[in-house]
């Protein structure tokens, strides 16, 4: 199936939730994906990120809030979306020396580990748990993310990496 018409044009200012492929993802996909991310002061972009990945087939989002100062805007941005907002205590998990390269890596790893424990502890029935940055948009020109994951799972794959593309 040629889905080239489903891609948004390069350099387009169209936001992710405004464009629609000719055929959206299969609502009865064989996989259920939950996404986790850690954000700080990202109210302006988190709604677009959730909506884009929701359209790709991700059904739930756990968003760790790393002491954002845009709390009311963040809650408004997430209103009506399938999200859980988890306050993240940066003083317990994030280094105080912010000058070090990759100073956020320990904080993010701790949040993602907590997300994995939390999701498994809630005994949700999900097939994949994605750990994402809010500036990463996963897109396959061939199919929805859930359909791609269903295909790789049928081959016994248990982890998936990605290739980053800068546009």
User: Are the C-beta atoms of residues 12 and 38 closer than 8 Å to each other?
Assistant: no
- The whole-number pLDDT of residue 123 equals 63
| CA dihedral (11, 17, 23, 25) positive or negative | positive
- The whole-number pLDDT of residue 132 equals 87
* Pair of tokens at residue 99: 């000058």
Strands of 83-87's sheet, edge to edge?
83-87, 58-65, 33-39, 128-131
- The whole-number pLDDT of residue 140 equals 79
User: Which residues lie closer than 8 Å to 74 by C-beta, 6 or more apart?
Assistant: 39, 42, 43, 46, 65, 68, 85
- The whole-number pLDDT of residue 144 equals 83
- The whole-number pLDDT of residue 163 equals 65
Is 84 in a helix, a strand, or coil?
strand
Low-confidence ranges of the chain (pLDDT < 50): 1-29
Task: Tell me which H or E stretch contains 43.
Answer: helix 43-55
- The whole-number pLDDT of residue 160 equals 77
Is 63 in a helix, a strand, or coil?
strand
Residue 121 burial (CB < 10 Å; 0-12/13-18/19+)? exposed
Euclidean distance between CA atoms 14 and 156, whole angstroms? 37
User: Are the C-beta atoms of residues 132 and 36 closer than 8 Å to each other?
Assistant: yes
pTM, two decimals, is 0.72
The greatest distance separating any two alpha carbons of the chain, rounded to the nearest whole angstrom, comes to 51
- The whole-number pLDDT of residue 6 equals 41
């Amino acid at each position: 199936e040629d889905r080239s018409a489903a891609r948004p044009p390069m350099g387009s200012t169209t936001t992710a939730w405004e464009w629609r492929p000719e055929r959206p993802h299969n609502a009865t996909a064989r996989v259920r994906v939950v996404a986790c991310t850690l954000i700080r002061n990202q109210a302006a972009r988190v709604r677009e990120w959730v909506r884009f990945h929701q359209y790709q087939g991700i059904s739930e989002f756990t968003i760790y809030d790393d002491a954002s100062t845009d709390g009311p805007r963040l809650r408004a941005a997430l209103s009506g979306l399938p999200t859980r907002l988890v306050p993240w205590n940066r003083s317990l998990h994030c280094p105080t020396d912010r000058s070090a390269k990759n100073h956020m890596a320990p904080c993010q790893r701790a949040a993602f580990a907590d997300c994995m424990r939390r999701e498994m502890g809630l005994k949700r029935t999900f097939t994949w748990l994605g750990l994402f940055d809010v500036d990463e948009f996963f897109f396959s020109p061939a199919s929805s993310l859930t359909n791609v994951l269903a295909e790789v799972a049928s081959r016994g794959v248990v982890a998936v990496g990605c290739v980053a593309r800068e546009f």
